[in-house]
Structure 1
Amino acid sequence: MKTIPVTCAIIRFKDKILAVQRSETMKLPLKWEFPGGKIEHGESEVDCIKREIREELNIEIQVNKRFTPVRHEYPDFKVQLIPFAANYVSGDLKLKEHSDFVLSKKEDLKNLDWAEADLPVLNEFMNQFEDVL
Protein backbone atom coordinates (compact mmCIF):
# COMPACT_ATOMS: atom_id res chain seq x y z
CA MET A 1 0.00 0.00 0.00
CA LYS A 2 1.44 3.35 -1.08
CA THR A 3 1.96 6.11 1.52
CA ILE A 4 0.25 9.40 0.62
CA PRO A 5 2.22 12.54 1.60
CA VAL A 6 -0.18 15.07 3.12
CA THR A 7 0.46 18.45 4.74
CA CYS A 8 -1.63 19.99 7.49
CA ALA A 9 -1.62 23.31 9.32
CA ILE A 10 -2.23 24.22 12.93
CA ILE A 11 -3.54 27.73 12.27
CA ARG A 12 -3.69 30.37 14.97
CA PHE A 13 -6.37 33.05 14.85
CA LYS A 14 -5.26 35.44 17.64
CA ASP A 15 -5.60 33.27 20.79
CA LYS A 16 -7.52 30.37 19.17
CA ILE A 17 -6.66 27.40 16.97
CA LEU A 18 -8.59 26.22 13.92
CA ALA A 19 -9.82 22.63 13.63
CA VAL A 20 -12.05 21.37 10.83
CA GLN A 21 -14.51 18.49 10.69
CA ARG A 22 -14.45 16.10 7.74
CA SER A 23 -17.70 15.85 5.79
CA GLU A 24 -19.91 12.76 5.82
CA THR A 25 -18.76 11.88 2.27
CA MET A 26 -15.01 12.01 2.98
CA LYS A 27 -12.88 9.14 4.26
CA LEU A 28 -12.96 9.23 8.08
CA PRO A 29 -16.35 10.97 8.09
CA LEU A 30 -17.02 13.60 10.78
CA LYS A 31 -13.59 13.22 12.37
CA TRP A 32 -11.77 16.43 13.31
CA GLU A 33 -8.42 17.32 11.79
CA PHE A 34 -6.01 20.10 11.09
CA PRO A 35 -6.72 21.29 7.52
CA GLY A 36 -4.44 20.47 4.61
CA GLY A 37 -4.08 18.09 1.71
CA LYS A 38 -2.01 16.02 -0.66
CA ILE A 39 1.30 17.25 -2.04
CA GLU A 40 1.22 17.57 -5.82
CA HIS A 41 4.13 16.37 -7.99
CA GLY A 42 7.00 18.88 -7.86
CA GLU A 43 5.38 20.97 -5.11
CA SER A 44 7.20 21.89 -1.90
CA GLU A 45 5.62 21.10 1.46
CA VAL A 46 5.17 24.80 2.28
CA ASP A 47 3.71 25.61 -1.14
CA CYS A 48 1.33 22.68 -0.71
CA ILE A 49 -0.02 23.75 2.67
CA LYS A 50 -0.51 27.35 1.54
CA ARG A 51 -2.32 26.21 -1.62
CA GLU A 52 -4.51 23.69 0.21
CA ILE A 53 -5.55 26.23 2.85
CA ARG A 54 -6.35 28.80 0.15
CA GLU A 55 -8.37 26.23 -1.86
CA GLU A 56 -10.22 24.57 1.05
CA LEU A 57 -10.72 27.51 3.42
CA ASN A 58 -10.34 30.69 1.33
CA ILE A 59 -7.67 32.15 3.66
CA GLU A 60 -3.98 33.02 3.53
CA ILE A 61 -1.52 31.82 6.18
CA GLN A 62 2.04 32.48 7.28
CA VAL A 63 3.90 29.22 7.90
CA ASN A 64 6.07 29.37 11.04
CA LYS A 65 7.40 25.94 11.96
CA ARG A 66 7.44 22.36 10.71
CA PHE A 67 6.51 19.69 13.24
CA THR A 68 7.50 16.03 13.25
CA PRO A 69 5.87 14.11 10.37
CA VAL A 70 3.54 11.26 11.35
CA ARG A 71 3.11 8.00 9.45
CA HIS A 72 -0.23 6.36 10.05
CA GLU A 73 -1.85 3.32 8.49
CA TYR A 74 -5.63 3.27 8.26
CA PRO A 75 -7.37 0.06 7.12
CA ASP A 76 -7.48 1.12 3.45
CA PHE A 77 -4.74 3.76 3.08
CA LYS A 78 -1.48 5.08 4.58
CA VAL A 79 -0.54 8.71 5.12
CA GLN A 80 2.57 10.62 6.00
CA LEU A 81 1.16 13.71 7.68
CA ILE A 82 3.53 16.71 7.54
CA PRO A 83 2.33 19.33 10.03
CA PHE A 84 3.10 23.04 10.21
CA ALA A 85 2.31 25.75 12.74
CA ALA A 86 0.91 28.81 10.98
CA ASN A 87 -0.80 32.13 11.61
CA TYR A 88 -3.91 33.40 9.88
CA VAL A 89 -3.03 36.38 7.65
CA SER A 90 -6.13 37.32 5.64
CA GLY A 91 -9.35 36.23 3.95
CA ASP A 92 -12.87 35.25 4.99
CA LEU A 93 -12.97 31.66 6.23
CA LYS A 94 -15.28 29.62 3.98
CA LEU A 95 -15.50 25.83 4.15
CA LYS A 96 -15.37 24.26 0.69
CA GLU A 97 -14.92 20.56 1.62
CA HIS A 98 -15.41 20.20 5.37
CA SER A 99 -18.72 20.12 7.25
CA ASP A 100 -17.79 22.33 10.20
CA PHE A 101 -14.99 24.20 11.96
CA VAL A 102 -14.15 25.48 15.42
CA LEU A 103 -11.85 28.18 16.66
CA SER A 104 -10.86 26.70 19.97
CA LYS A 105 -8.72 27.52 22.97
CA LYS A 106 -5.70 25.22 23.09
CA GLU A 107 -6.96 23.32 26.14
CA ASP A 108 -10.32 22.55 24.47
CA LEU A 109 -8.83 20.88 21.37
CA LYS A 110 -8.50 17.52 23.15
CA ASN A 111 -12.30 17.33 23.50
CA LEU A 112 -12.77 16.79 19.75
CA ASP A 113 -13.04 13.38 18.05
CA TRP A 114 -9.79 13.55 16.06
CA ALA A 115 -8.66 11.50 13.06
CA GLU A 116 -6.03 9.08 14.40
CA ALA A 117 -3.15 10.46 12.31
CA ASP A 118 -3.74 13.95 13.77
CA LEU A 119 -3.43 12.83 17.41
CA PRO A 120 0.41 12.76 17.54
CA VAL A 121 0.41 16.19 15.83
CA LEU A 122 -2.01 17.53 18.44
CA ASN A 123 0.11 16.11 21.27
CA GLU A 124 3.35 17.60 19.93
CA PHE A 125 1.62 20.95 19.44
CA MET A 126 0.22 20.91 23.00
CA ASN A 127 3.69 20.23 24.40
CA GLN A 128 5.33 23.05 22.38
CA PHE A 129 2.45 25.55 22.26
CA GLU A 130 4.30 28.52 23.75
CA ASP A 131 7.37 27.94 21.57
CA VAL A 132 5.65 27.84 18.19
CA LEU A 133 2.90 30.44 18.07
Structure 2
Amino acid sequence: MKIIPVTCAIIHFEDKILAVQRSKTMKLPLKWEFPGGKIEARESEIDCIKREIFEELNIHIEINERLTPVIHEYPNFKIELIPFTAEYLEGELKLREHSDFVIVNKKELIILDWAEADLPILKEYLLL
Protein backbone atom coordinates (compact mmCIF):
# COMPACT_ATOMS: atom_id res chain seq x y z
CA MET A 1 0.00 0.00 0.00
CA LYS A 2 1.37 3.39 -1.03
CA ILE A 3 2.09 5.85 1.79
CA ILE A 4 0.52 9.30 1.30
CA PRO A 5 2.69 12.12 2.75
CA VAL A 6 0.53 14.62 4.64
CA THR A 7 1.53 17.63 6.73
CA CYS A 8 -0.34 19.06 9.72
CA ALA A 9 0.12 22.05 11.98
CA ILE A 10 -0.39 22.58 15.69
CA ILE A 11 -1.21 26.28 15.46
CA HIS A 12 -0.80 28.51 18.50
CA PHE A 13 -3.09 31.48 18.94
CA GLU A 14 -1.00 33.00 21.74
CA ASP A 15 -1.37 30.43 24.58
CA LYS A 16 -4.19 28.40 22.94
CA ILE A 17 -4.21 25.78 20.19
CA LEU A 18 -6.41 25.27 17.14
CA ALA A 19 -8.11 21.95 16.37
CA VAL A 20 -10.53 21.39 13.48
CA GLN A 21 -13.37 18.91 13.05
CA ARG A 22 -13.73 16.97 9.82
CA SER A 23 -17.04 17.42 8.01
CA LYS A 24 -19.65 14.67 7.67
CA THR A 25 -18.69 14.17 4.00
CA MET A 26 -14.93 13.74 4.57
CA LYS A 27 -13.14 10.46 5.32
CA LEU A 28 -13.18 10.00 9.11
CA PRO A 29 -16.31 12.15 9.52
CA LEU A 30 -16.54 14.43 12.57
CA LYS A 31 -13.13 13.38 13.95
CA TRP A 32 -10.89 16.14 15.25
CA GLU A 33 -7.47 16.77 13.75
CA PHE A 34 -4.67 19.25 13.39
CA PRO A 35 -5.24 20.97 10.02
CA GLY A 36 -3.10 20.25 6.98
CA GLY A 37 -3.06 18.23 3.81
CA LYS A 38 -1.28 16.22 1.15
CA ILE A 39 2.12 17.23 -0.18
CA GLU A 40 1.96 17.99 -3.90
CA ALA A 41 4.64 16.99 -6.43
CA ARG A 42 7.89 18.96 -6.00
CA GLU A 43 6.51 20.79 -2.93
CA SER A 44 8.46 21.03 0.31
CA GLU A 45 6.88 20.08 3.63
CA ILE A 46 6.98 23.73 4.77
CA ASP A 47 5.47 25.05 1.54
CA CYS A 48 2.75 22.39 1.77
CA ILE A 49 1.67 23.18 5.31
CA LYS A 50 1.60 26.94 4.70
CA ARG A 51 -0.42 26.45 1.48
CA GLU A 52 -2.85 23.97 3.05
CA ILE A 53 -3.50 26.18 6.08
CA PHE A 54 -4.24 29.16 3.87
CA GLU A 55 -6.46 27.11 1.52
CA GLU A 56 -8.41 25.42 4.33
CA LEU A 57 -8.52 28.18 6.95
CA ASN A 58 -7.69 31.50 5.25
CA ILE A 59 -4.86 32.26 7.70
CA HIS A 60 -1.09 32.66 7.52
CA ILE A 61 1.26 30.88 9.93
CA GLU A 62 4.92 30.88 10.89
CA ILE A 63 6.51 27.45 11.36
CA ASN A 64 8.35 26.82 14.64
CA GLU A 65 9.52 23.21 14.61
CA ARG A 66 8.97 19.82 13.02
CA LEU A 67 7.80 17.07 15.37
CA THR A 68 8.07 13.30 14.90
CA PRO A 69 6.21 12.01 11.81
CA VAL A 70 3.69 9.20 12.25
CA ILE A 71 2.91 6.43 9.78
CA HIS A 72 -0.66 5.27 10.25
CA GLU A 73 -2.59 2.65 8.32
CA TYR A 74 -6.32 3.13 8.00
CA PRO A 75 -8.42 0.31 6.45
CA ASN A 76 -8.19 1.71 2.89
CA PHE A 77 -5.10 3.92 2.92
CA LYS A 78 -1.82 4.65 4.72
CA ILE A 79 -0.43 8.10 5.57
CA GLU A 80 2.78 9.58 6.86
CA LEU A 81 1.59 12.50 8.95
CA ILE A 82 4.32 15.14 9.30
CA PRO A 83 3.54 17.56 12.14
CA PHE A 84 4.78 21.09 12.75
CA THR A 85 4.21 23.55 15.53
CA ALA A 86 3.33 27.01 14.26
CA GLU A 87 2.22 30.47 15.27
CA TYR A 88 -0.82 32.26 13.87
CA LEU A 89 0.32 35.39 12.03
CA GLU A 90 -2.69 36.97 10.32
CA GLY A 91 -5.96 36.44 8.53
CA GLU A 92 -9.59 35.87 9.47
CA LEU A 93 -10.14 32.20 10.24
CA LYS A 94 -12.73 30.77 7.81
CA LEU A 95 -13.50 27.07 7.53
CA ARG A 96 -13.46 25.98 3.89
CA GLU A 97 -13.57 22.17 4.37
CA HIS A 98 -14.11 21.40 8.05
CA SER A 99 -17.37 21.55 10.00
CA ASP A 100 -16.10 23.18 13.21
CA PHE A 101 -13.05 24.41 15.09
CA VAL A 102 -11.98 25.13 18.64
CA ILE A 103 -9.16 27.23 20.03
CA VAL A 104 -8.47 25.80 23.47
CA ASN A 105 -5.89 25.42 26.20
CA LYS A 106 -3.36 22.64 25.64
CA LYS A 107 -4.91 20.42 28.36
CA GLU A 108 -8.39 20.69 26.80
CA LEU A 109 -7.22 19.01 23.57
CA ILE A 110 -7.44 15.54 25.14
CA ILE A 111 -11.25 15.65 25.47
CA LEU A 112 -11.77 15.76 21.68
CA ASP A 113 -12.50 12.66 19.57
CA TRP A 114 -9.30 12.62 17.48
CA ALA A 115 -8.52 10.95 14.16
CA GLU A 116 -6.27 7.98 14.98
CA ALA A 117 -3.23 9.27 13.08
CA ASP A 118 -3.26 12.50 15.11
CA LEU A 119 -3.17 10.74 18.51
CA PRO A 120 0.61 10.05 18.64
CA ILE A 121 1.23 13.66 17.57
CA LEU A 122 -1.10 14.95 20.28
CA LYS A 123 0.69 12.79 22.88
CA GLU A 124 4.12 14.06 21.82
CA TYR A 125 2.90 17.66 21.82
CA LEU A 126 1.39 17.36 25.31
CA LEU A 127 4.82 16.30 26.60
CA LEU A 128 6.57 19.41 25.21
Fold-level similarity (TM above 0.5): yes
Unpaired runs of 5+ residues, structure 2, are: none
Distance in 1, matches of 2:118 and 2:23, equals 16
SS in 2 for 1:94: coil
One-letter amino acid matched to 1:72? H
Work out whether 1:85 is the aligned partner of 2:81.
no
- The aligned amino acid for 1:95 is L
Q: Distance in 1 between matches of 2:3 and 2:28?
A: 17
In the TM superposition, 1:14-25 aligns within 5 A as 14-25=14-25
Which portions of structure 1, spanning 4 or more consecutive aligned residues, are displaced by more than 4 angstroms?
none
Distance in 1 separating the partners of 2:89 and 2:59: 7
Task: Determine the C-alpha separation between the residues in 1 that align with 2:101 and 2:79.
Answer: 22
1:73-120 CA-partner distances (Å, limit 9, x unpaired): 000110000000000000000000000000010000000000000000
Give the equivalent residue in structure 2 for 1:35. 35
- 1:26-71 residue CA offsets vs partner (Å, 9 max, x unmatched): 0000000000000000000000000000000000000000000000
CA drift at 1:15: 1.2
Counterpart position of 1:131: none
Aligned residue for 2:101, secondary structure, equals strand
Partner of 2:108: 108
**TM-score, L = length of structure 1:** 0.96
1:53 aligns with 2:53: yes
**Gaps in structure 1 of 5+ consecutive residues:** 129-133
In the comparison of the two structures, how many residue pairs are matched? 128
SS of the residue corresponding to residue 127 of structure 2 reads: helix
| Rounded Cα–Cα distance in structure 1 between residues aligned with 2:8 and 2:27 | 16
Equivalent residue letter for 2:39: I
**Letter paired with 1:123:** K
Q: Which deviations, in whole Å up to 9, do the C-alpha atoms of 1:113-133 show, x marking residues without a partner?
A: 0000000000000001xxxxx
Aligned-partner SS, 2:17: strand
The separation in 2 between residues aligned to 1:126 and 1:85, in whole angstroms, is 12
**2:12 corresponding residue in structure 1:** 12
The normalised TM-score by structure 2 is 0.99
Identity %: 72
